[in-house]
Chains A and B, each alone.
Chain A
Amino acid sequence: MQYKSQAVAMPYFIAAIGLFVGQIIFGLIMGLQYVVGDFLFPEIPFNVARMVHTNLLIVWLLFGFMGAAYYLVPEETETELYSPKLALILFWVFLVAGALTVLGYLFVPYATLAQATGNDLLATMGREFLEQPLPTKLGIVVVALAFLFNISMTMLKGRKTAISMVLLLGLWGLAIFFLFSFYNPHNLVKDKFYWWFVVHLWVEGVWELILAALLAFVLIKVTGVDREVIEKWLYVIITLALVTGIIGTGHHYYWIGAPEYWQWWGSIFSALEPIPFFAMTVFAFNMVNRRRREHPNKAAVLWALGTGVMAFLGAGVWGFLHTLAPVNFYTHGTQITAAHGHMAFYGAYVMVVITIISYAMPLLRGRAANSEKAQVLEMWSFWLMTIAMVFITLFLTAAGILQVWLQRVSDTPMSFMTAQDQVALFYWMREWAGVVFFIGLLTYLASFFVKGEAKAVAS
């Protein structure tokens, strides 16, 4: 750690990992509810488990992004953070608000929660992933703005690098696009438009900038390749990501009541969305192959390479699988979507956050890298979680193909619930793969507590 104020990243990383554990527990509960419908009913109904699973994911990734920014920006700008105290205050505000929201989901019926939190004043609740009550949404905006103020002020007084500029652009975009969540028109078509302006332009737009910047930062550190080379790649990747991702929003407009030409625009541009992810994979491997030093933190290098591969597979390949309008006509809203969602979120965003945690955490704890023993355990967790996720994705894909066939293609189409019964075997297998993922996650946690001879801090 080169700057004292980078230390504020630590609580953010710890909270991120803690909420990650919560997310997976609720994933397991919900996965079981797919096959044992009344499991934990009425205490935790399926819709609540789902909401907690997805909301915790978003919140912990945001913790991860913020922690990453607090770690990365001082080092890139070569100056201390503008206000470490503000960063710590925001940490507690965000954590308490997040915890209260989840407790609200769990202990108050959603309609009552909506009534109690002023949803009648400004209706923003009820949309998938954006279920948060109004005070939480306002809290997110306040925290995001104060965070951006802190980061931007740091940037203004320090060195400006391409990596930190791209990161900042992504973070500002994240905050700005979230504002669409406050507009919830009665017209269902418009409602879907604004909803996608948040959801899609986050994960297939500005978050990709954050992802690329974090990956580039870690690659510079662990490979020692020239900054100019890495920055050139960064520019190419973000341009491709924005051109394909922004117009690619059209792949959500096929069946919502938008004009027909979106089926062409959406298909063509989103079919190209794998390209930036492919470039990212090539970039990661290319840089590691051209490395000028052997960084002692092998685990971080593994996570960085894994991010490239899994983001390409999950976001690129599994996205392409159902992005063309004639295919999507049959597959939209099926388990194919769930398969893509799982591997894309894991491969792109979960893995990049773990990459930066894996790189930064030892440094925050005063050593260049963890002991050999701890790293071996961490690599075990990498393989357990990653392989488990591959299987979750494959089982969901199988379930999805079967579902599409039984429910939408066959001459005697089944009803939704009858088709669900037919694919139960795949849900069981997915649940077991989920258990393996959870074991991988526990292994990851354990790796933080393994002692052993640590590598000294590199100068």
Chain B
Amino acid sequence: MNTASATALTPAPPAAQYRLAGDLAIWIFILAELLAFGVFFSAYAFTRAHHVELFDAEQRALHRDVGALNTALLLTASYFVVRAVQAAERFAARASSHWLLGAMVCGAGFIVLKLFEYGAAFDQGVSLSSSPFHMFYLSLTFFHFMHVILGMVILAALWFGARAGRYQPGDMNGMETGAAYWHMVDLVWLILFPLVYVIH
């Protein structure tokens, strides 16, 4: 299992250094999550092909700029998480916890913007039954929204751990496991945003 994860890296490190970052269990979980989103995205594409005009019109009504801002927030959060991991790897527990706090602020920003977006949509009568596009828009973004919330809980746990000095070189499993989950949440949004908000 360890060897597979490193095949894309060049130059390949010596065999003894092949290592899966984080716990194997989280990777099984991440793959299952990606599969769930993947199936949802395929269903979206399939339905869109049957209702192109409807989807185009309703996609245009979405707040694309808010979506772009949210993309920036999640990317920044992911960058901060990377810095947190790097900080912990050089015994800088304090810096690590600061980076994690920054990531959580970005995540919270995403959640606030999303809530405003939902509020505006509900005011316009958008619901799961109002149109096929709305069904997918709400389902996909809300399913992802729940993942951001779970990701925030995990970041909070890492933050407590980092403050307690739990992560350091040789003992990075917990930090890497949580970071991998957060990057998955970010990655899904990077597909979701263009798919639902941008591509006509």
Name A's B-contacting residues (CB within 8 A): 232-233, 235-236, 239-240, 243-244, 259-261, 264-265, 267-269, 271-272, 275, 279
Contacts and interface: CB of A to CB of B under 8 A. Distances in A.
16 contacts: A233-B25, A236-B29, A240-B29, A240-B32, A243-B36, A259-B129, A260-B129, A261-B135, A264-B139, A267-B43, A268-B40, A269-B36, A272-B35, A272-B36, A272-B39, A275-B32
A344 B135 CA distance: 32
Given A236-B28, A261-B135, 17 more contacts: A232-B23, A233-B25, A236-B29, A240-B29, A243-B36, A244-B36, A259-B128, A260-B135, A261-B128, A264-B135, A264-B136, A268-B43, A269-B36, A271-B39, A272-B35, A272-B36, A275-B32
3 tightest A-B CB contacts, nearest first: A261-B128, A261-B135, A236-B25
B34 to A, nearest CB: 11
A442 B193 CA distance: 60
Interface size range of chain B in the complex: 10 to 19
A361 B43 CA distance: 49
Contacts, number: 39
A269 B146 CA distance: 15
* Interface SS of chain B: helix
A271 B135 CA distance: 19
Greatest chain B CB density within 10 A among A243, A261, A269, A275 is at A261
Contacts of B28: 236, 279
A233 B23 CA distance: 11
Contacts of B43: 264, 267-268
Interface centre among A233, A236, A271 (most CB of B within 10 A): A236
A282 to B, nearest CB: 9
Contacts of A279: 28
B173 to A, nearest CB: 11
Contacts of B25: 232-233, 235-236
A243 B37 CA distance: 13
A243 B23 CA distance: 20
Contacts of B39: 268, 271-272
Most chain A CB atoms below 10 A, which of B23, B25, B139: B25
Contacts of A272: 32, 35-36, 39
A119 to B, nearest CB: 36
A261 B40 CA distance: 13
A140 to B, nearest CB: 34
B82 to A, nearest CB: 25
A279 B35 CA distance: 14
Q: Which of B23, B35, B36 has the most CB of A within 10 A?
A: B36
Interface string B121-155: 00000001100000110010000000000000000
A268 B128 contact: no
A261 B139 contact: yes
